[in-house]
Amino acid sequence: MIGLRKNEQDAIIHVVKDLLGKMKRREIFKATVAAALGVSNAAEAQQTTGWAAIVDGLAVYQSETDLSGGGAFSVDRQFLRAGALYRSPEGASFGVLASFGRFSYDFNSIGSALWGDVRDIRLSAPIRFGVGEHAKVLISPSVRWDYENDASASDGVTYGVFAGVSWEVSDTLEIGPAFGAFSQLGSNDLDLFPALLVSWDMAPRWNLSTGTGLGASQGPGVTLSYQATDRTRISFIARSEKSRFRLDNAGLAPGGVGEDTSVPVVLSLVYTPNPGASVSAFAGAELDGRLNLENTAGTLVSSQSYDVAPILGLSFRFMF
């Protein structure tokens, strides 16, 4: 460095290295929190080590759509989640997250009404740690209670785990296998499904990733994101959803199980005003939708497909 003494050069180099080290630790924490929550690496955190609190919410409106057996229905879905995550100085993290969701089904006629409002309560404990220099392990056990309003919560309990391992193949690609194993309402069989953990910076400002996200029911979906500005991101998201819940003792299948499956596809706009907050709006459609109704013996009582259903939604996330 021209014009500087040796001790001055050493002091400047030391400050720069210290600054870069802090920046690197901050980015590692952001990625760790994001993976533990099942969101993309765009999720931000405000601290390097120690505890980080999170509060996020989601509201989705599915407009009225026709059923193949006659009639039509619409749904309002709301989720609220809160919890805390801890990152150790060594880079491992763990936490506890609790969420409450409500699905408000509105069938347009009494004859077509399969069920009423449904509650979705979840408790999870994500754990994330490194193995060697390039591998990361994610284990997230969870318990869920899914039940119609007048049913017993204990009759709608299921449990399971989502786990996977990913490798840092390069500076732009992290990839690895994962799986989900969950008990099922109305069945003694486990619901097993494979998944893929991916975070790929495929081009400047472009990222392809997988993540579960708030309210997701069937493991990672696929997200293609474009970082339009430092604070604005545009994403195309597709995933498979399957919600099963215990029914009350009235209706067409007293004490049975209701099921709603679909493939939602949306375009979202995310605004991040600061590192600890984000809000988003999205619009799209639910494809390949189907409502199933099973009695207490597990026999299929009704199975109806529904037309493409437009959806609109808002979400927010605060981390501090």
- Predicted confidence at residue 110, as pLDDT, reads 72
Does this model's pTM top 0.85? My answer is: no
3 state SS of 51: strand
Closest-CA residue to 71 (of 305, 238, 318): 305
Query: What is the tens place of the pLDDT at every residue in 137-184?
Result: 999 999 999 999 999 999 999 999 999 999 999 999 999 999 999 999
Percent of the chain with pLDDT over 70: 82
Q: Does 1 score more than 80 pLDDT? A: no
195 DSSP β-pair partners? 178
Segment 188-202 mean pLDDT: 92
Segment 95-100 mean pLDDT: 97
Ramachandran region, residue 173 (left: φ > 0; alpha: ψ -120 to 50; beta: rest): beta
Categorize the per-residue pLDDT at 62 as very low, low, confident or very high, splitting at 50, 70 and 90. very high
Burial class from Cβ neighbours inside 10 Å (0-12, 13-18, 19+) for residue 244 reads: buried
Mean pLDDT of all residues in the chain? 86
- Predicted confidence at residue 219, as pLDDT, reads 58
- Predicted confidence at residue 217, as pLDDT, reads 65
Q: Are strands 300-306 and 277-294 parallel, antiparallel or unpaired?
A: antiparallel
Ramachandran region, residue 105 (left: φ > 0; alpha: ψ -120 to 50; beta: rest): beta
- Predicted confidence at residue 238, as pLDDT, reads 94
Which comes out higher in pLDDT, residue 79 or 40?
A: 79
Categorize the per-residue pLDDT at 33 as very low, low, confident or very high, splitting at 50, 70 and 90. very low
Which tokens is 33 given?
């929190």
What domains sit in the chain, N to C, each tagged with a CATH number?
Answer: 6-319 (2.40.160.40)
The number of C-alpha atoms within 13 Å of 130 and in the hemisphere containing its C-beta is 14
Segment 19-37 mean pLDDT: 36
